[in-house]
Structure 1
């Protein structure tokens, strides 16, 4: 270990300069070798610990790229000492142990001169902090009173040790709060964690990796895969001892994994030899991994021993006549002088140098003095892009329904905000429709109820043989989750069944929801669309710009053409589209086959229409009333945004996608008006079902407008 530390110090002190070719992180011109340019590749975590101590003694910073329990470090024992002391502050022996721990940092000489009684009073105050505020407050109090960061960060490896102390404190705090542990129970828990630390690999207890790039990197050969360093040191590949397993594991001639479980019986020796052969082949491959981590230089150690050297991968590689032909599993060790001559004979000019080991004291390394700089406060010199946001349809139109704030940067509400009072009834005939009172007439309204119904529809498999039982189960589950009182399971089930059996009109080939197979229904299609470049903005689009597209692509007969004027209302016209649009489409239905296959957007609405305080009927959900409700609630904007989301989804996922064929329109299903298959208006219209098929060119033009600001 000492020779490795000595080699590192010599490399740093010789003034080696790295060229950009030898340093993947170099910018311009050569620079001196730094500790962070050196990696030491070893086989075990124990070797990493030994090397870390040796480098620390030589004054060289190092970081350990390994995952081991933080309770295995000095920090775990230091915390035991601290908790022991505050549990029994009257015991001077515990105070003395605390005084020389990392928390207090006294030297042995300080124990004879410093005031131990004053420390005892401070420990009693720490006990009160623990009792009143817990472990986290205790650590902060100790850190402040003992100037822990300032003292430890001034020492070599201090950042590592401070990180470990804080990590243990967080683990103790979490255990104390979740388990409601007192001081004695917490101390017992910590002692168990320290005892079990050798085999403890849980994520929350794994030691946090060092991130200091200005330190020598200590890595195992397995974790070094894929990494590169200018200089790599390989200290231990000359020394190998292979202990045969009691139950050998190897592969037969067919490549099958074999575990020999016959004990010391016939074939055991052959099984052991097969297992050792595979192990030695793997050792050669790991040696290849280790030495190929270097960008400019490899330093490897070799020494002759009576037994271990001859099977080590480095020895076998160096003293094989022609490694390209094959490397034997065992090569007899040479005397040291002959070995050196053999290695020199194998060396290509300027590619292999031999240096003999000379024992002696390790010179302390001193980091070059850094040029001092004047520190100044940073200034914020950029402007905040207040137009960039994550928004949704609900946020864009929240001002219409007196919501606050008018436009937010949050994703769509968890509750379905789709139940405003959207219109008054229109005058006219239709006595037959007036006679059909909605099955959902007595049920409450509001976002919570809408969310409940959406959840039931999302989970329901409409293809089951017993639909009533299917609906009943989901209604019972969702009512329990929502905690809504006053609604019976049977009552809500009976109210929902007619809407599932109501035909959906020509857009869905007059199928009802019960006719759509689960495989043809995509429920809750979440989306997050980039607007005007997303993370790389290219401008901003206002909602009023959509109005021009509506006038351009919608015919005079389209009932939603009037929405263009509403988009120019100041309440929504100034809504900005820049960043991301989030949302979730209630369902996408796949209808038709072959050349008639298309995809229809479905949005469930539980809005109450009609006269306040009057029973609601199928008449309140006739086509004229639905069109008025759509306009009043700004649902055309929602429909268009959802159509753009579906357009981009299909463009990405569907081979041979054609928007003119595959965009099948939108269905807004006002469930309170869907009273079953036998109720239609005088004109054949289906109450509660609003169907709209915006032209494909309108959808694609809007998609382009939202993406680039132009609709060409």
Structure 2
């Protein structure tokens, strides 16, 4: 960690104990703009908060643009919430079951499009959702698709404690662990004490390793190249998805540690997988995968447990 971040962390430690509160990834990142984020009461609320923040960062030129794959879907928060809700329904119904019954999916899409007055999206969105079911996820090991998953859980809610955690210390550790060297907005010079709450879009098991998956509908540009692996790093850092991935991975790490008798981080934790849906094509575009080391996860765990920065 860099010296300024450590100095800020020490300053936080010298302050009176922070009041107990419940926060979330969205709450921490909205505080970058000195705003108090309402706590998401459901996965839908969580997605809506994040989608709204993402939409505010999208360029105005996105309207009428031609995203890499999802050409017809308008940019903005409403699109993000709608697509997330469809993917959640597909997971709860069963990805394989949906793949085997396209008409049921089209009916679901049609009802949602009718409510939003998007009749032109019914067929292209249905076709795209069906295509995603068979698009390789880009995981290490044997090829994997949503339709072929055997073990997964959608919208996994988590809560875990944060004991007098200086946000500059969390910020410094996250910057060193994920997307090192890239500029990004700094977290507030504050202390988190209480509970951290969140909802993971999908948790899956593949080849004996567990992954947390997050869907993104961000519009990154009109070209397939805008979703290439190297092109994803800057928007990931700008949106502080590194922080989100760190929090979700810690939740999964602690969950597995409690549930698997022989849990070993380096053996069982597969990492975070971010799917930028507009560019996800099964050939490397639109996919970011990160897996911190066991030592990095242990240090993150200790920070939340109240260890000195």
- Contact 2:96/2:147 (8 A) holds in 1: yes
The 2-side partners of 1:657 and 1:507 are apart by: 19
Provide closer, same or farther for how the CA distance between residues 514 and 508 of structure 1 changes in structure 2, counting only shifts above 3 A.
farther
- Contact 1:391/1:581 (8 A) holds in 2: yes
- Contact 1:396/1:575 (8 A) holds in 2: no
Encode CA deviations 1:245-269: one digit per residue, 9 max, x unaligned.
xxxxxxxxxxxxxxxxxxxxxxxxx
1:411 equivalent among 40, 43, 56: 40
Encode CA deviations 1:448-488: one digit per residue, 9 max, x unaligned.
221221121112122125253343233234446xx311243
1:703 pairs with 2:301:
yes
Residue matched to 1:608: 219
Correspondence 1:622-637 to 2 at 5 A: 622-637=228-243
The 2-side partners of 1:458 and 1:509 are apart by: 24
1:529 equivalent among 160, 176, 195: 160
Encode CA deviations 1:40-82: one digit per residue, 9 max, x unaligned.
xxxxxxxxxxxxxxxxxxxxxxxxxxxxxxxxxxxxxxxxxxx
1:599 pairs with 2:217:
no
Provide closer, same or farther for how the CA distance between residues 474 and 710 of structure 1 changes in structure 2, counting only shifts above 3 A.
farther
Is the partner of 2:125 in helix, strand or coil?
Answer: helix
1:396 pairs with 2:14:
no
Residue matched to 1:687: 285
Residue matched to 1:468: 102
- Aligned-pair CA distance for 1:609: 0.7
- Aligned-pair CA distance for 1:561: 1.1
Structure whose residues are more often strand by fraction = 2
- Contact 1:618/1:674 (8 A) holds in 2: no
The 2-side partners of 1:416 and 1:441 are apart by: 24
* Length, aligned pairs only: 277
The 2-side partners of 1:601 and 1:421 are apart by: 25
Residue matched to 2:70: 440
1:562 equivalent among 181, 195, 220: 181
Provide closer, same or farther for how the CA distance between residues 699 and 423 of structure 1 changes in structure 2, counting only shifts above 3 A.
farther
Residue matched to 2:191: 576
- Aligned-pair CA distance for 1:698: 1.3
Unaligned runs of 5+ in 1: 1-383, 425-435, 533-539, 611-615, 681-685
- Aligned-pair CA distance for 1:586: 0.4
The 2-side partners of 1:621 and 1:454 are apart by: 19
Residue matched to 2:225: 619
1:671 equivalent among 263, 267, 277: 277
Larger Cα-atom Rg:
1
Provide closer, same or farther for how the CA distance between residues 385 and 708 of structure 1 changes in structure 2, counting only shifts above 3 A.
closer
Is the partner of 2:106 in helix, strand or coil?
Answer: helix
The 2-side partners of 1:486 and 1:417 are apart by: 22
- Contact 1:604/1:670 (8 A) holds in 2: yes
Residue matched to 2:129: 496
- Contact 2:174/2:243 (8 A) holds in 1: no
Residue matched to 2:261: 655
Provide closer, same or farther for how the CA distance between residues 655 and 479 of structure 1 changes in structure 2, counting only shifts above 3 A.
farther
TM-score (norm 1): 0.36
The 1-side partners of 2:286 and 2:57 are apart by: 14
TM-score (norm 2): 0.79
- Aligned-pair CA distance for 1:551: 6.6
Provide closer, same or farther for how the CA distance between residues 707 and 467 of structure 1 changes in structure 2, counting only shifts above 3 A.
farther
- Aligned-pair CA distance for 1:644: 0.6
